[in-house]
Structure 1
Amino acid sequence: MTARLIEPKGRGFLLFDSHPAGCAKIVADMRDRVAPAISGQAGRRTVAVIIGSSAGYGMAATVAGIGRYGMHGVGLCFERPPTVRRTATAGWYRTAATAELAAAAGSDFSFVNADAFADDTKDHVLDLIAKKFGGIDYLIYSVAAPRRTDPLTGQSHQSVIQPIGKGYSTKTLDFSGEAPSLTERWIEPATAAERADTIKVMGGEDWALWVDALDGRGLLRTGFTSVALSYIGSHLTAPIYRDGTIGAAKADLEDTAITLNAKLRALGGRALTSVNGAAVTQASTAIPGIALYLSLLRGVLGEAMQSPLAQSVELWDQLTGTQTLRLDEQGRLRLDWWELHPLVQEQVTERWKAITSATIGDLADLCWFSGEVRRLYGFDVPGVDYAQPCEPDLLWPTP
């Protein structure tokens, strides 16, 4: 391809193209907000594998780990390359920028573009780890996928975002018109098969397969820790999220953590889930009601809303012992304290009840949310000149 103007065209939350320079600037801005740990790097560097390293909390954990602790490791994601008609996905460009960040920081970090659920992918990543590092200290599992093929049966499973037991009607935002509007959305309940399929895709089975594969190859170092990223959220979104099919998968993830934790004790290791706070991600925008909830939450908190990067710095600080590890009664690491504080939820609930088409602009921060969605694709990023042509045909970073 040759350099060309790239514009944010699409439908609703979905944009057709991504902006390479905007994606690179996002990674650079994240890097600049991460301060190196006071302890510095003494002796052998920590090695981490981040599954889901190109977006959302997985990318934030990757940038935070490199920038704060100079970690070595492997990032795994599944992104589409550029084609004749379309740019690459935003995650492709963010990964290229993250690879440059790692190189500048002196971190030996490889990035693999492949299906995390596939046995061949696991073999490839484990070969990389064995050859380059001989073992790993951390595995961060941050996967949000619409489907998964079971490597044992070859059967494909599709995840759904639906309530369980009975249908559910929720307020939600419609971005199909010139301006966002408030509407009501009815969601049918999931069948038993749909619930089971969602657990197959988004539950803990694949996470356990990764840990088992690493253990089988003798790649788990003493003190090895694995963390699966999760979310609980507000009572306002519970019917479609925590009490729905996705919540059933998250419960399975937490049950898997208990099983893995018992297994890893022999290595002096551990497994746990990290409950993160709300964020605008490509996965979250697909859930009815979440866009409205996030806009209201931002309206209440403003700049006090914790970014995925800030939470990821806190995650690494607790995992490495820089801070005390703080777990709840279920053994989960909680990074969502700022979101679920009773006073915050009380104010968000009041706005949720009061919101109408006439008051939506006063109660919800729609401009912030729309901007965050566009930034997922590299647009609306301060400091980027979108009037200048940009080269979209960037290569995947090689080790």
Structure 2
Amino acid sequence: MSERVVVPRNRGFLFFDSHPAGCARLVEDMWRDTPPPARDTSGKADAGAERPVALVIGSSAGYGLAATVAGLAHVGVRGIGVSFEKAPDRRTGTAGWYRTAATAALAARHGHDFVFLNGDAFGDDMKDTVARLVTDRFGGKVDYLVYSVAAPRRTDPDTGEKYASVLKPVGAAHRTKTLVFDGDGRPEVTSVETAPAEGDDIRQTIGVMGGADWRRWVERLAERGLLAEGFTTAALSYIGSPLTAALYRRGTIGAAKADLERTARDLAGYLKAYGGRAVTSVNGAAVTQSSTAIPGIALYLGLLRRELGDGLVPPVVQLTALWDQLTGAAPLDLDEEGRVRLDTWELAPEVQAAIGDRWQGADNGNIAELADLDWFRTQVERLYGFSVPGVDYGAPVETDVPWPAAT
């Protein structure tokens, strides 16, 4: 037993420990907020049908976690989630470690056969482990693969080359407004300049965040005869506002996202032999551990929340809509580039115009009025299991939570 009181300690938006009970409660709330499974005309849940087999690569955080919870709670998938999280040791485990344990417990409670694996999704060893599980446990066929991996580095299994992604503009340095909080939690609107990409920064970032690993997952499964007829795969992506485009969509990360979209088109052709499909899903803005690292995103999200209030669509609701499109419960709604668009609420012209006005006028004197700072701070804290309603943070909590066994 390793019970102790876990208190939030952080540097900026990075917290050094995570709260197990808070992380678990967050996952329970996500499950509760997921629309229930589709029902047939008799009004009964379709519990007797054989459940589809799904893989979620990057299942422990952000939109990958939302895809996992929505897949389980709304569709009732069986299958495997893959993530890379740190076990409890001198410090607590990572938040994703505790979220995975909570997701596994909920899946078991609701009778879903879903296995969680911890390791390097980029490596072929993990792909081989997943392939064996699909063969031995899930009938030898995969119906869906959702790809949602955000990582700083990747090693190419074929060449051994190590890639490192960077967050930089392309062509020229870029200065942007951003939001920071001092040690006492006071907000400050400041500006930061990011140097432009140089050398092979773009190639390196594409090597990590582009479509190469997604393609490898699909092809390795196909080589083993594990793709079901009608196999469908989606990689989760983001476009974002013109206000953040210089660092995101037009920057090195944007080059990687463009490569992801090219990969989707290539895979769509490849999967025709299976009657299958490949798409990218462009999701709307959310506070995630990845997004908070991008200069300007904190300010943008605070402004967006103040403008939209409860009109800001949670990730689990967006991913429920994606599952409906992937499974055929709703028509597949693609834009002219062949992408599923779940971000139209965010990028509506009137919304972006209002955010643009707020952005231009934001300073230290009015930021508390223009942006929902309390909401943003709370969302960041909840990434690590803090500030979750219903959790007693003064009580000791067990931190040595085991990774869910594949029973």
Query: Given the two structures, how large is their TM-score scaled by the length of structure 1?
Result: 0.99
1-side partners of 2:373 and 2:142: how far apart?
42
**1:386 pairs with one of 384, 390, 393:** 393
1:160 matches 2:166: yes
Amino acid at match of 1:211: V
Amino acid at match of 1:103: A
Structure 2 partner of 1:13:
13
1-side partners of 2:165 and 2:213: how far apart?
14
Question: Which runs of no fewer than 5 residues in structure 2 stay unpaired?
Answer: 41-45
Structure 2 partner of 1:45:
51
CA contact (8 A) 2:55 2:144 kept: yes
1:155 to partner: Cα distance: 1.7
1-side partners of 2:217 and 2:309: how far apart?
38
1:323 to partner: Cα distance: 1.2
2-side partners of 1:49 and 1:176: how far apart?
41
Structure 2 partner of 1:142:
148
| TM-superposition CA deviations, 1:253-277 (whole Å, max 9, x none) | 0000000000101111000100000
Amino acid at match of 2:269: A
CA contact (8 A) 2:187 2:364 kept: no
Structural mapping, 1:185-334, within 5 Å: 185-334=192-341
Structure 2 partner of 1:27:
27
SS of corresponding position for 1:236: helix
Amino acid at match of 1:121: M
1:86 to partner: Cα distance: 0.2
1-side partners of 2:127 and 2:82: how far apart?
10
2-side partners of 1:162 and 1:285: how far apart?
15
1-side partners of 2:76 and 2:267: how far apart?
27
2-side partners of 1:282 and 1:321: how far apart?
31
| TM-superposition CA deviations, 1:73-93 (whole Å, max 9, x none) | 00000000000x200000000
Q: After TM superposition, which residue ranges in structure 1, 4 or more long, deviate above 2 angstroms?
A: 39-43
Structure 2 partner of 1:113:
118
1:236 to partner: Cα distance: 0.3
1:105 to partner: Cα distance: 1.5
1:103 matches 2:108: yes
Structure 2 partner of 1:86:
91
CA contact (8 A) 2:165 2:208 kept: yes
Structure 2 partner of 1:56:
62
1:177 to partner: Cα distance: 3.2
Identity %: 59
| TM-superposition CA deviations, 1:94-132 (whole Å, max 9, x none) | 000000111111111000000000111111111111111
CA contact (8 A) 1:49 1:140 kept: yes
CA contact (8 A) 2:121 2:127 kept: yes
2-side partners of 1:266 and 1:156: how far apart?
33
2-side partners of 1:117 and 1:163: how far apart?
26
SS of corresponding position for 1:49: strand
1:42 to partner: Cα distance: 4.1
1:43 to partner: Cα distance: 2.4
| TM-superposition CA deviations, 1:173-221 (whole Å, max 9, x none) | 1224321211110000011411110000000000000000000010000
Structure 2 partner of 1:125:
130
CA contact (8 A) 1:264 1:270 kept: yes
Amino acid at match of 2:9: K
1:152 to partner: Cα distance: 1.1
Amino acid at match of 1:31: W
2-side partners of 1:296 and 1:2: how far apart?
41
What is the alpha-carbon root mean square deviation over aligned residues? 0.8
2-side partners of 1:262 and 1:272: how far apart?
11
Query: Given the two structures, how large is their TM-score scaled by the length of structure 2?
Result: 0.97
CA contact (8 A) 2:173 2:193 kept: yes
1:376 matches 2:377: no
Aligned length: 398
Question: Which runs of no fewer than 5 residues in structure 1 stay unpaired?
Answer: none
